[in-house]
Amino acid sequence: MTGTNKILVVTEPGSAAWSQAPMPEPREEEVMIRVEAISTCPHWDIRIFSGIPMFESRPLTYPYIPGEPGHEACGIVEATGSKVTEFRVGDRVVMWRDPGGRRQGCYARYVAVDQDHLLKPVGTMPPEKLAPLELAMCVQVSFDQLETIDAVKNKHVLVGGLGPAGLIAVQMARAYGARKVTGTDLEPARRQLGLAAGADSAIHPDELPELADSEYETGLDTTGLAVAINQMIGCTRNAVAVFGVMRERIGFGPEHWWGGFTLMGYGEHNKSAAKRALELVEKDRIDLSLLISKELPLSAYAEGVSLLKQKKAIKILFNPWIE
């Protein structure tokens, strides 16, 4: 297909180039998308741009993969491969999975994506309500796990961390029938966002009670930090699910062993969870635009990552069509 593409490349830690690139050619089971918008995944963006591997076993090399780490995107199908059956040219689509290891990421005007990594939303919602769906799918995985032990409906749910995942978790807890939702965060501004997302209360972690005085029945940690997880385990009666990427060991005491306490690691990304999350978005049960702090052109990528690092933004929405 003829046309002009532009793509972001992190050339070295702290530096990125937004420049002309060849148009992607979709393979047999891929579609080529005209990207409307891409939302940041702060941990990935900050680490890749800073030269810090997300996982120690995966060292980084630069220039980094063109278009990466962009993966939360929505757009319009412009072309399809010969074996594509689920989508047609003109369909609006949204990424639900980051497959990793691709030849090109979504920080671009055009990208080729496997059809199995896309969903077709209903309606005409704006990009800021749709682009972060991949993160909503990730959070949905944890809720699916908690629902297997009836740990959400009619329960008091504690959400640890009110960043992007935490703000989704607050809304999902509400959508799935939690009796009460409390959020915790160190930052006052994020506690206010937690209230805006539907939490009954939002407190500093230092305000968490001891287990004997606690009414929290279920916890969902989105930080991955041992100190935060240990605090949550120490004040939650029935179950804690750890969504945040863990890099440290955590404690598990006899007070929980005797009580039949459940501690859950993270599950697997899956299309069923993505469809459940998208249904919540389509029915206005969760509002992903609450996560978007600012819209910027991709030429201002460094500015966007700086805002994330300084915690002056929850997510940035990049528009590849403005300069």
pLDDT in tens, 249-270: 998 888 778 778 999 999 999 9
pLDDT tens string 120-174: 999 889 999 999 999 999 999 999 999 999 999 999 999 999 999 999 999 999 9
What per-residue confidence (pLDDT) applies to 79?
97
Q: In what order do the strands lie in the sheet with 236-242?
A: 201-203, 180-184, 156-160, 216-221, 236-242, 262-264
Top-confidence residue, 142 or 102: 142
Binned at pLDDT 50, 70 and 90, residue 2 comes out as: low
Top-confidence residue, 282 or 212: 282
Binned at pLDDT 50, 70 and 90, residue 59 comes out as: confident
Binned at pLDDT 50, 70 and 90, residue 289 comes out as: very high
What per-residue confidence (pLDDT) applies to 73?
98
Instruction: State what percent of residues in the chain have pLDDT above 70.
Output: 99
Binned at pLDDT 50, 70 and 90, residue 101 comes out as: low
- According to CATH, the topology of domain 5-120+288-319 is Quinone Oxidoreductase; Chain A, domain 1 (3.90.180)
Alpha helices (runs of H) in the chain, residue ranges in sequence order? 42-50, 127-130, 133-147, 164-175, 188-197, 226-233, 254-257, 271-282, 301-309
* Domain layout of the chain by residue ranges: 5-120+288-319, 135-264
Matching residue, tokens 């009670």 = 209
What per-residue confidence (pLDDT) applies to 219?
98
Q: What are the tokens at 150? A: 């009836």
135-264 carries CATH number 3.40.50.720: yes
What per-residue confidence (pLDDT) applies to 20?
95
CA quadruple 252, 185, 205, 166: dihedral sign: negative
Mean model confidence pLDDT for the chain: 95
What per-residue confidence (pLDDT) applies to 123?
87
What per-residue confidence (pLDDT) applies to 130?
98
Instruction: Note if the pTM is more than 0.85.
Output: yes
Q: What are the backbone angles phi and psi of residue 148, rounded to the nearest 5°?
A: -65, -20
Matching residue, tokens 């497959």 = 99
Closest CA to 94 of 123, 67, 66, 51: 123
The pLDDT of residue 175 is above 60: yes
The pLDDT of residue 291 is above 70: yes
What per-residue confidence (pLDDT) applies to 255?
76
